[in-house]
Amino acid sequence: MTVFHGTTIVAVRKNGRVALGGDGQISIGETIVKSQATKVRTLKGGRILAGFAGSVADALTLFERFEEKFDRYPGNLTRASTELAKDWRGDRYLRRLEALLVVADLDHVFLLSGTGELIEPDDGIMSVGSGGPYALAAARALYRDERLDAKAIVERSLEIASEICVFTNRHVTVLELGA
């Protein structure tokens, strides 16, 4: 699976809530060109959270395609994600898109890619991007702390990733769904 530089996205489902966050750094090569980008958003009237790693233009295309699939299969994140993954792998134009997409609702978290991956983690924790492995490890460790909710885990995981990964910064955006 491709790892994109300049992004860390992490999602956590815990206790009836889901949080998705991303850092704000955009790099071209070894140069930071923007430090306050927003790589996560709500979709479908706030029912879905989505974040991306990779090309912004490609991610925007994927957000649009995902919303079309969700309109076709209303309320069914699993089916919409499956259909997008199938299209993404099989369509010559979509296959060239350079991005990874993480989508989440209160019941599911999925990673989608152009190579056909549609992955739902066993533990409700997903992370992608250059700082993804660091954020994933941090989130899994923090998840055990009963005092921390999903949002706090995402925030702290991104902070830890920013201390390790040179392509991740501390300007984070975290979105949340749930009670």
Catalytic positions, please? Answer: 7
Residue identified by tokens 């999925």 is: 110
CA-nearest of 12, 69, 22 to 44 is 69
For residues 41 and 64, is the Cβ–Cβ distance under 8 A?
no
Q: Give kind and range of the element (H or E) at residue 40.
A: strand 40-43
Pairwise CA distance, residues 78 & 90, whole Å: 18
Placement of tokens 């949340």 in the chain = 176
Beta-carbon-side half-sphere exposure of residue 11 (alpha carbons within 13 Å): 32
Rounded to an integer, what distance in angstroms lies between the CA atom of residue 169 and that of residue 162? Answer: 5
Instruction: Give the Å distances, CA to CA, from 81 to 58, 72, 115.
Output: 17, 11, 14
Q: What DSSP element (H or E) covers 24? A: none
